[in-house]
Structure 1
Amino acid sequence: MITLRKYLATLSPDDQAAYAERAGTTIGYLRKALSKRQRFDGALARRLDEESGGAVCRHDLRPDVFGPAPKRPKAKAA
């Protein structure tokens, strides 16, 4: 949920509403779910991930459904 909260903070209110609509929900529902720490169903978690271009990770929203987030390769020092 932290990634969703951070992602929404980067968007204007109009962009937040558009993002939620593209994911098949409303910004009101997302705000309510964040405040009550509700779990999103797996399909919504996937759509939130896809519509954010991966900025909101489905693995963070529902690790019980999608498993732990894949590890990113470490950058090599120059």
Structure 2
Amino acid sequence: MDDNDKMAVLIIGIPVAGLIYCGVGIATMMSSPWLRDHALLAGGTFTLVPFISFAALWTRSSARFYRDKDKNQG
């Protein structure tokens, strides 16, 4: 996969995945009485899951980039 294809996947795929995630979250909250009663906990969980996932992904990618950069220089 070349760089243009990767960029297209990012530009199209991430917003679509976000919309699907939001739809699943809203549908789950509408259908579950427990989640409606504990809206703050449910909303916090639905917010933190993608944030933590992408923060970990970003950190690993950044660490890999700098590790490879140091190998190529030294």
TM-score by length of 1: 0.25
The structure whose RCO (Cα within 8 Å, separation 6+) is larger is: 1
Specify the structure having the higher radius of gyration (Cα).
2
Query: In proportion to residue count, which structure has more helix?
Result: 2
